[in-house]
Amino acid sequence: MSSSKIIAVSGKGGTGKTSICALLVRAFKNKGYGPLLAVDADPNANLAEMLGLKTESSIGEICEETKKYDGGQAGMSKNDYLRFRLEQIITEAEGFDLLAMGRPEGPGCYCYANNVLRDALKILMDNYKLILIDNEAGFEHVSRKTNLKIDQLLVVSDPSLRGVDTAGKIFNLAKNIGLPVEKTGLLLNRVKGGISSELEKRIEDIGLGLFAKIDEDDCIVDSAQTGKSIFALPEDCKSVRAVAGFCDKLLK
């Protein structure tokens, strides 16, 4: 049985979930926690850019060929062929690797790409101590059970009632479909000052415990506007300090 840990980051679009995932990659890399695999499971594929990488290929590009694979001249099983192709599309960086979902093409390819991603994670789990997954915005990867067993599901929300309600829907969906998640927590991002009593009450009502909060950070805004890698941010950035401070807690 694999001893690797899987941490999945989810949330609606615009909450900063991809930034959080990139910051987690930076934090765990700096702590020497590896081998580490970052998975960009969002077809919009922004994680690579935030990590300062360019991906040459993706799951989306190989899903049709894997789907149609019949053994070929080499007589490889489909599982062996998938492993072979995965080794070709993984982007290697200093201290971590990256696997991108990409944007599948062709009718029915998106659902199949999720199945390929699920199978890929099964194959790759033995190679990595930690897998960090940036889910696409919304509920898609949760509802498709793409993530297999998740040790920690981190649901990112902005500090608004509507955002927390959406986080609660993701939490409830994961429970209702029986997704095997060991721990789930809410991360409030872009917090300005404190949290209102009304928001605290709403968080309590949805039953999703507050894991951590991150203050609004001009460093992240600047990084997004200039296209800087998350690794270019100074150590004293609020977000960098906050994520480095709680990342070990995600593994407990």
Quick one: pLDDT at residue 86?
Answer: 83
Q: Is the pLDDT of residue 54 over 70?
A: yes
- For 47, list phi and psi in degrees, rounded to 5: -65, -45
Q: What is the overall mean pLDDT for the chain?
A: 86
Positive or negative torsion for Cα 79, 112, 141, 44: positive
- Over residues 4-14, the pLDDT tens digits come to 899 999 998 88
Quick one: pLDDT at residue 24?
Answer: 98
Number of domains, the chain? 1
Structure tokens given for 209:
């415990």
Burial grade of 176 (CB within 10 A; 0-12, 13-18, 19 or more): exposed
- Over residues 177-233, the pLDDT tens digits come to 788 889 999 999 999 988 999 999 999 999 999 999 999 999 998 888 888 899 999
Of residues 119 and 148, more confidently modeled: 119
Q: Is the pLDDT of residue 125 over 80?
A: yes
* Angle subtended at Cα 234 by Cα 189 and Cα 7, rounded to the nearest 5 degrees: 45
Q: Over range 45-56, report the average pLDDT.
A: 88
Q: Is the pLDDT of residue 151 over 90?
A: yes
Contact 69, 78 (CB under 8 A): yes
Q: Over range 68-76, report the average pLDDT.
A: 72
Q: Is the pLDDT of residue 1 over 50?
A: no
Other Cβ atoms within 10 Å of 74 Cβ, number:
8
Q: Is the pLDDT of residue 2 over 60?
A: no
Quick one: pLDDT at residue 143?
Answer: 60
In terms of residue numbers, what domain contains 179? 5-251
Residue 134 belongs to domain with CATH number: 3.40.50.300
Q: Is the pLDDT of residue 37 over 90?
A: yes
Quick one: pLDDT at residue 74?
Answer: 65
Of residues 206 and 81, more confidently modeled: 206
Question: Percent of the chain beyond pLDDT 90?
Answer: 54
Of residues 55 and 154, more confidently modeled: 154
